[in-house]
Structure 1
């Protein structure tokens, strides 16, 4: 890779990391190429991005994006996206599917570095669509109960008649 290519990659990653609300650093040692493609497919489904980047280039991009606290060692895979929960869920799902070969190390949420426990807690939260579904279910409950009551009243009146 030439110096110009490296500078271009750092610039692209800096822009991507600056715009994203969640960045998860994972160790992917031991994954096959097909399994790595599966992780990329998981990320694409959740509007997240995955890239294997050299530590020095990733560190420069993170520093330029204003995230100085992340320490990158060994092999690292970066997962980032705008939605914090879906990005954390993507990394958690990959870590669950590929135990001991895909490990979440650390991450950053809204530009501040966080530990593994925070990322795991974010992965357990329901997504935006699930929360909207729960809210609609709560809003529809009184109407549903009212219609069930009216139907029971109708059946009772029919039996009496």
Structure 2
């Protein structure tokens, strides 16, 4: 790869990192071509972009960003693939977990992730990341919590209305 080609890759990666809120770094070494293709297909179906890039190029692209990603340097060894997603930060973690269920060797290995500039390093973080809720899910929960007291008041008033009407009817019939 020439210097110009490397510069283009670094520029493209820098732009991708700037446009993407969430990215994961994985290690898919040891997988067969068939397994890699299946993993890429799972990523594509879930709206996750997966690229394999040299570690030095990833480091240089991350250095071009405003945030400090130096803590990821220790993870950028060996074989690295990057998973980009804009919407739900938990989708790549779920893809990795789903693929691991089918693979006996427990590949791909999760190295690190950046979720809204927060860094998660290590395989033990994968479970936490897979349970993250999307912004829409959190907003939905807040709205349902806010609606709950109003619904309780309305249902109490409606049930009371029937009780009061029944009570008045019974009293009027007693005369």
**Distance of 1:151 and 1:62 partners within structure 2:** 59
Aligned residue for 1:80?
Answer: 84
Aligned residue for 1:69?
Answer: 71
Aligned residue for 2:163?
Answer: 156
8 Å contact 1:20–1:80 — kept in the other structure? Answer: yes
* Aligned CA-pair RMSD: 2.5
8 Å contact 1:107–1:119 — kept in the other structure? Answer: no
8 Å contact 2:25–2:82 — kept in the other structure? Answer: yes
How does the TM-score come out when normalised to structure 2?
0.72
Any stretches of 5+ residues in structure 1 without a counterpart?
Answer: none
- CA apart distance, 1:157: 3.0
**Distance of 2:110 and 2:83 partners within structure 1:** 10
Deviations 1:94-115 (A, max 9, x none): 2211111222112335556542
Q: What SS is found at the alignment partner of 2:113?
A: strand
Q: What SS is found at the alignment partner of 2:71?
A: coil
- CA apart distance, 1:79: 1.9
Q: Residues 154 and 62 (structure 1 numbering): CA distance in 2 closer, same or farther, change over 3 Å?
A: same
Greater gyration radius: 2
Q: How many residues align?
A: 154
Q: What SS is found at the alignment partner of 1:17?
A: helix
